[in-house]
Amino acid sequence: MKRLFLSVIAMLTLMGARADEGMWMISNLSAKTDSILHSMGIELTHDQIFSTEHPALNNVIVQFGGFCSGSVVSPDGLVFTNHHCGYGSIQDHSTTEHDYLKNGFFAKKLKDELPNEDLYVDFHLNTYDVTDKLLAATTPDMDEMQRMLVIDSVATVLQEAIEDSVNGIHGEVVPYYKGSKYYMSVYQRYSDVRLVFAPPQCLGKHGGDTDNWMWPRQTCDFSVFRIYADKNNKPAKYSKDNVPYKPVKYAHISLQGYQPGDLCMTFGYPGNTDRYLSSYGIENTMRTVNDNRIQVRGVKQAIMTDAMNSSDALRIMYSSKYAQSSNYWKFSIGQNKALKDLGVIAEKQALEKEILEWAKQKPEERGKYIGILDSLKEEYARSYQQQFAMNLWQESFWSGSDILAFAIKQMIGMAQGKQGDFKKEVEKSFKDIDINTDKKIFAALAKNYVEHVPDSSYLPEYVQVVDSLFNGDYNAYADFLFSKSIFARPADLAQVESLAEVGEDPIFMQAIDLVTLLYKMYGASPIDHYEQLLGDALREMNRDKEYYPDANFTLRMSYGIVEGYSPSKDLTYECFTPSQSIIDKFEKQGSNPDYELIPEVYAWLKKGNFGKKYIDSKSKDLQLCFLTNNDITGGNSGSGMYDKKGRLIGLAFDGNWEAMSSDLKFDTNLQRCIGVDIRYVLSIIEKYGKAKRLIKELTLE
């Protein structure tokens, strides 16, 4: 009787366990996750998802370039990722004559595929727990700084022990649960990755900033790359003799689509979440990170927009930088809004109260948790101005003028005794800098910093110079600096053998002053330690609940179902967008450049010859983008969306506006993952792009 009762309870729990919050480490999926996946209809065994013994899904997933995710989809090493992940490479190869951003790109033959200097993909080989090894080296009397140093050096030793540069094998030790655990992941890197196909950006980036982070979407956010290897299929630097890489496994693609309620899994490399952050930490993020980012980038982006509107050359030159800046500018606006709208701070406070009461029940055992909330409150308040100033500094100088940032980075490299090939770095960095535009950004942000810095002790030295010698005129100051500095003359700068030669260069001097200022702001803080304890307390309080670790750019899977949502009482979104919706956006809102379609694309869409096999059998339409409730974040971009048989059905590319608070708090009702339907991708490749040779490589089911 008791057993029956228990199994009924278990069944009920499973039925309630619908699509779920959580970014799970695929190398140690628990029995509980397995059973949830089974209750959701998965047809794969645990071993087919992750294995170190035989080919499994983990062999198909790549970390793309250090910032995105992708899937290998052919026996010749083709990789599908997002358009916005390939954007930098597409831009790199674009000129006003060959505007691949605007018109798209297709390599007609293998030899036309375009190499990309710094691009690589990492394959995940294994992950294992190294917590004991790292923590064994620490002692209770160490302060935070000493602890970090010790942990860092043991981690370095472990990483070096497995490094095998000939085979591209390298390890990364990364903290989980804010340092309560450490795991080492082992990867194999391939660094000859070539651009094969990109849609025109009116498809690949359709909706631009207007639609970014929003639903409904029509964006065909994909691009195609190919991994190359040497003749023995081993990783190799770019060489014209390299050949397409033969993967141990590649993803099959389903043409059968999805229905609401169907299981969907994403596999990829989510970058950063802070789901266990305290209410104080959330408030701090809103003010010191988001407010600064929104304000400073607003100033910078206005200058870039003017420049980009003035010529095609400048548009191409700044397009990738602009998109990078505006992506997280809009993110921060949305995150602050959603945190407020959804009452996330109050929710966290209630949880914190619960934790405190739980701790107080057994002070002998849980004593270390009792004071943490007070400590967090105090420490966040004490360091507020400092953190505000540091974030303002970062937005204004590290991510402000490119020339200044270049000088700062070189200066730091010199101080740390690390200097690369200077000439090469100049060439690479200055390729996409327009000196005049950069000077405007430099002046505007130097002034803006002074106007917003919260405490006069964080004022930079240049204030006095501008006030006394330039009458407070920042443009005149910038004119002077740029006319005197070798950093504003890239051709001369490239001739410099070593930084020591630049002497008292005024931009270099400014870089030194600013880095000195940053050091002055910096101070070790116990905040991270208190936050870690708070997370430990939560997990201890709910021992039978499984907590996934925050995203940290390691391989994760999330499971969910295909599902629309209802952002308000009188609005419900279906789970996909129909083909007519992209035409409507252009025809009805054509004055918005983000909805513009180049004539070739418009004509193609109007004609509607999308390819019979890509038409959904139920809707009789080419479905464009779709929604699931998978748990993803930045870094997941390009992640494959897989069905219950482990076949690719889409590529994840965005999240939705109503749940922009999701990096700090997952909202089950509202949070959605936006993906591009793989049939839309294939239709663009085959029918619009006439790239039959790529379709032939794929396995379509």
Amino acid at 685: I
Q: Does 205 bind ligand ARG (CB under 6 A)?
A: yes
Using the contact rule CB under 6 A, the part of the chain among 32-40, 207-215, 389-397, 527-535 near ligand ARG is: 207-215
CA gap 698, 701 in Å, rounded: 10
**CB neighbour list of residue 400: distance below 8 Å, 6 or more residues apart:** 296, 300, 441, 442, 445
Q: Does 212 bind ligand ARG (CB under 6 A)?
A: yes
Cis peptide bond upstream of 216, omega within 30: yes
Cβ proximity to ligand ARG, 673 vs 691, nearer residue? 673
Q: Does 305 bind ligand ARG (CB under 6 A)?
A: no
Tell me which of 27, 637, 639, 661 is the catalytic residue. Answer: 637
Cβ proximity to ligand ARG, 223 vs 386, nearer residue? 223
Q: C-beta of 338: minimal distance to ligand ARG in Å?
A: 14
Q: C-beta of 659: minimal distance to ligand ARG in Å?
A: 13
For residue 665, count other CB atoms closer than 10 A to its CB.
23
Q: Which residues of 156-176 are buried (b: 16+ CB within 10 A; e: fewer)?
A: eebbeeeeeeeebbbbbbbbb
Per-residue CA distances from 290 to 282, 297, 329, 345, 540 (Å): 10, 10, 8, 15, 31
CA angle, 361 as apex, 356 and 362 as ends, to 5°? 110
Q: Which segments of 42-123 does DSSP mark as H helices, in order? A: 46-49, 83-92, 100-103
> Which of 35, 327, 385, 525 forms a contact with ligand ARG (CB under 6 A)?
327
Cβ proximity to ligand ARG, 285 vs 510, nearer residue? 285
CA gap 682, 575 in Å, rounded: 20
CA gap 552, 582 in Å, rounded: 35
Using the contact rule CB under 6 A, the part of the chain among 93-101, 145-153, 203-211, 561-569 near ligand ARG is: 203-211
Q: C-beta of 653: minimal distance to ligand ARG in Å?
A: 6
Q: C-beta of 109: minimal distance to ligand ARG in Å?
A: 30
CA gap 418, 556 in Å, rounded: 33
Considering CB under 6 A, how many residues would be counted as binding ligand ARG? 12
| Dihedral (Cα; 311, 312, 317, 320), 10-degree rounding | 110
Tell me which of 192, 221, 434, 438 is the catalytic residue. Answer: 221
Q: C-beta of 174: minimal distance to ligand ARG in Å?
A: 21
Q: Does 116 bind ligand ARG (CB under 6 A)?
A: no
Q: Does 437 bind ligand ARG (CB under 6 A)?
A: no
Instruction: Judge whether 84 counts as a catalytic residue.
Output: yes
CA gap 326, 310 in Å, rounded: 19
DSSP structure string for 255-313: SS---TT-EEEEEE------TT--HHHHHHIIIIIIIHHHHHHHHHHHHHHHHHHH-HH
Cβ proximity to ligand ARG, 84 vs 439, nearer residue? 84
Using the contact rule CB under 6 A, the part of the chain among 156-164, 205-213, 300-308, 445-453 near ligand ARG is: 205-213
Tokens 């499984």 belong to which residue? 546
Cβ proximity to ligand ARG, 205 vs 687, nearer residue? 205
CA gap 369, 381 in Å, rounded: 19
Q: Does 213 bind ligand ARG (CB under 6 A)?
A: yes
Q: C-beta of 405: minimal distance to ligand ARG in Å?
A: 21
The interface with ligand ARG within residues 42-101 (CB under 6 A) comprises 84
Cβ proximity to ligand ARG, 506 vs 634, nearer residue? 634
The three-class DSSP label of residue 131 is helix
Cβ proximity to ligand ARG, 27 vs 89, nearer residue? 89
Q: Does 432 bind ligand ARG (CB under 6 A)?
A: no
Residue 202 and residue 596 in contact, taking contact as beta carbons nearer than 8 Å: yes
Nearest in space to 642 (alpha carbons), one of 55, 56, 28, 25: 56
Using the contact rule CB under 6 A, the part of the chain among 113-121, 169-177, 206-214, 311-319 near ligand ARG is: 206-214
Cβ proximity to ligand ARG, 331 vs 614, nearer residue? 331
Tell me which of 84, 124, 170, 206 is the catalytic residue. Answer: 84
Q: C-beta of 97: minimal distance to ligand ARG in Å?
A: 25
CA gap 683, 679 in Å, rounded: 6
Between helix 363-370 and helix 344-361 the angle, nearest 10°, is: 150
Q: Does 315 bind ligand ARG (CB under 6 A)?
A: no
Cβ proximity to ligand ARG, 221 vs 395, nearer residue? 221
181-190 and 121-129 as β-strands: parallel, antiparallel, unpaired? antiparallel
Cβ proximity to ligand ARG, 213 vs 666, nearer residue? 213
Using the contact rule CB under 6 A, the part of the chain among 204-212, 417-425, 496-504, 618-626 near ligand ARG is: 204-212
Q: Which secondary-structure segment (H or E) carries 328?
A: helix 312-341
> Which of 21, 34, 209, 528 forms a contact with ligand ARG (CB under 6 A)?
209
Q: C-beta of 667: minimal distance to ligand ARG in Å?
A: 17
Q: C-beta of 627: minimal distance to ligand ARG in Å?
A: 15
The interface with ligand ARG within residues 654-693 (CB under 6 A) comprises 654
For residue 246, count other CB atoms closer than 10 A to its CB.
13
Q: Does 634 bind ligand ARG (CB under 6 A)?
A: yes
Per-residue CA distances from 293 to 67, 329, 335, 522, 551 (Å): 20, 6, 12, 19, 21
> Which of 90, 214, 282, 323 forms a contact with ligand ARG (CB under 6 A)?
323
Using the contact rule CB under 6 A, the part of the chain among 59-67, 114-122, 209-217, 485-493 near ligand ARG is: 209-217
> Which of 29, 138, 150, 208 forms a contact with ligand ARG (CB under 6 A)?
208
Instruction: Judge whether 581 counts as a catalytic residue.
Output: no
Q: C-beta of 387: minimal distance to ligand ARG in Å?
A: 24
Cβ proximity to ligand ARG, 327 vs 525, nearer residue? 327
Nearest in space to 228 (alpha carbons), one of 347, 107, 337, 90: 107
Per-residue CA distances from 431 to 402, 403, 463 (Å): 11, 11, 30
In the 8-state DSSP scheme, what is residue 41?
T
Using the contact rule CB under 6 A, the part of the chain among 31-39, 89-97, 201-209, 519-527 near ligand ARG is: 201-209
Cβ proximity to ligand ARG, 92 vs 654, nearer residue? 654
Instruction: Judge whether 661 counts as a catalytic residue.
Output: no
> Can you give the binding site for ligand ARG, defined by CB under 6 A?
84, 205, 208-209, 212-213, 323, 327, 634, 637, 653-654
**Hey, which residues are catalytic here?**
84, 221, 637
